Chains A and B, each alone.
Chain A
Amino acid sequence: MKKIFLCCAAGMSTSMVVNKMKQAAATKGIEVEIIAVAMEEFDNTLSKYDCCLLGPQIKYKFDDFKKKADAVGKPIAVINNMDYGMMRGDKILADALAMMQ
């Protein structure tokens, strides 16, 4: 099973996106584990998950986090502003799955 984690400043708003993504996964019958964490949890979470998505509000962390993710060969991306704002769980999920191909 694929495991994705989302990361933002406190893990609050990303947890809303996670719910939407889980709903999308359930309707499509995709088996996937998704969680939201605060940015200080990034290091501890990276090893246990396959893919990381950052909330756009912490895109300033991207370069720093990408180095760490590249070192263990895991894909990482910043979620598109509008997808994030509109909480488009299905699209964000599809993008994440495509990244892990």
Chain B
Amino acid sequence: MSNAFFDFIERKITPIAARAGTQRHIMAVRDGFIGAMPFMIVGSFLLVFAFPPFSPDTTFGFGQWWLSMSKQYFNEIMTPFNMSMGIMACYISAGIAFNLAQSYKLDAFPCAMLSLMTFLLIAAPMKDGTLSASFLGGTGIFTTIIVSIYVTELMRFLKVRNIGIKLPEQVPEKIRQSFNLLIPALIVILTIYPLNLFVQHQFGMILPDAIMAIFKPLISAADSLPAILFAVFLCHILWFAGIHGAAIVGGILQPFYLVNLGLNQSALAAGQPLPHIFIEPFWSFFIVLGGSGATLGLVMLYTRSKSAHLRAIGKLGIVPACFNINEPVIFGSPLVMNPILFFPFIVAPMVNATIAWFAASGDLIGKIISLVPWTAPAPIGAAWGAGWQMGNGLLVIALIIIDMLIYFPFFKVYEKQLLSQEADMATEMETNPV
């Protein structure tokens, strides 16, 4: 059975994943998010200062001071947050169009500009001299993806069909570029804008609102335990085949993470309970702590292994594992296509996901309100992501121990196999000295 199964992964699942991982639009969306990531990480880092991790009746002096400072300077702290994370869909809009245009070898900068204009046109119509920001954050993510792809495809279509204003050759390149934008800008305003007005008249909501309504069932489905477990399973099957499952599955999950994060942050600002659980730090620090496969516990076992090979991997892998990097473990052990370690490799992260999900939905731990670089050590990252809640860090430590217990019996079997191989090699060396 196992051979047929591994064969199936290698021949059926891997090529599909490879296609998803190299698909032009998926890559452009992923790279667009990456481009905006620094703003979002710094922005959400600042959010924590506005919402100190202390209850109002704390007797701790520092906590009291922090609470009063955050109240006094609330707007001053929130402005950098609002203008970075709070309107992330603007930056993402330009980022996706830029990357998609580059992959088509179009002029990337004009595409990015046009995409931003189009997005603002439908998501933040100006009224009385102010733009409404309600759809410039997480709730605008799906709109921004659709708009930036539409705009870039339109630019490409016009270029392929040679539609545009022809200028004589002597005209400098920069001026030519800006003229190239005239027709597309006009077409965008003549197509998307009437659609927006139509939707507004018919349904009393603007386009981003309607798009959010369409995606709503998908968003709540994605934030459920079965969906999380499916994503974890798929990611680890891919890793098992030796390819970067997290880069592929994570790329598809990213829009959902950002919508959920945006909704949690608005709920926090409004003083309401946080609605969503499944956001990137939840994945990085609870589910795949120490790297995909939740191997931090396994590497700790390796460091004290009797097998020289596993001990070498343990020595090589323990420090990177603290920062959630585990390629030495995955390719060195190897975990890739290793039937003995297949079961714990898939099951440990799923167990982590289940425990952390129930802990979060039962409010035993804090839900995520802040983005954190995924290389933060897992207990710290988990606490940071929820606005420095220590309970999150403690849960991560408990999960490390649970993962060790899950890996332990399989580790022992594998160690025994390696030990007998190592012994065979040693006797061979003795009988046939080089």
B316 contacts A87, CB within 8 Å?
Answer: yes
| B246 partner residues in chain A, CB cutoff 8 A | 9
Size range of the interface on B? 20 to 34
Distance between A44 CB and nearest chain B CB, rounded to angstroms: 10
| B313 partner residues in chain A, CB cutoff 8 A | 85-86
B22 contacts A64, CB within 8 Å?
Answer: yes
A82 contacts B332, CB within 8 Å?
Answer: yes
B247 contacts A13, CB within 8 Å?
Answer: no
B320 contacts A by Cβ under 8 Å: yes
Supposing A12-B375, A85-B313, A85-B330 touch, asked if A57 and B22 sit within 8 A by C-beta, the answer is: no
Give the contacts of B296-345 with A (CB-CB under 8 A): 312-313, 316, 320, 325, 327-334, 336
A contacts with B, residue count (CB < 8 A): 24
B236 contacts A by Cβ under 8 Å: no
Chosen A-B contacts, 8 in total, with CB atoms closer than 8 Å, are A12-B325, A13-B325, A16-B328, A55-B327, A61-B21, A81-B242, A85-B330, A87-B316
Supposing A13-B320, A59-B243 touch, asked if A86 and B328 sit within 8 A by C-beta, the answer is: yes
B244 contacts A by Cβ under 8 Å: yes
B316 contacts A82, CB within 8 Å?
Answer: no
| B229 partner residues in chain A, CB cutoff 8 A | none
B18 contacts A by Cβ under 8 Å: yes
Contact with B along A27-47 (1 / 0, CB 8 A): 000000000000110010000
Distance between B252 CB and nearest chain A CB, rounded to angstroms: 14
Binding site for B on A (CB under 8 A): 8-10, 12-13, 16, 39-40, 43, 55-61, 63-64, 81-82, 84-87
B244 contacts A58, CB within 8 Å?
Answer: yes
A58 contacts B330, CB within 8 Å?
Answer: no
A84 contacts B243, CB within 8 Å?
Answer: no
Please indicate which of the listed interface residues A60, A61, A63, A87 has the most CB atoms of chain B within 10 Å of its own CB: A60
Distance between B22 CB and nearest chain A CB, rounded to angstroms: 5
Distance between A4 CB and nearest chain B CB, rounded to angstroms: 18
| B331 partner residues in chain A, CB cutoff 8 A | 56-57, 81-82, 84-85
Distance between B368 CB and nearest chain A CB, rounded to angstroms: 20
B316 contacts A86, CB within 8 Å?
Answer: yes
Bound together, the chains give a CA A39 to CA B313 distance in angstroms of 25
B17 interface neighbour in A9, A55, A60, A82, Cβ under 8 Å:
A60
Distance between A69 CB and nearest chain B CB, rounded to angstroms: 15
B22 contacts A60, CB within 8 Å?
Answer: yes
Q: Which residue of A lies closest to B331 (CB)?
A: A85
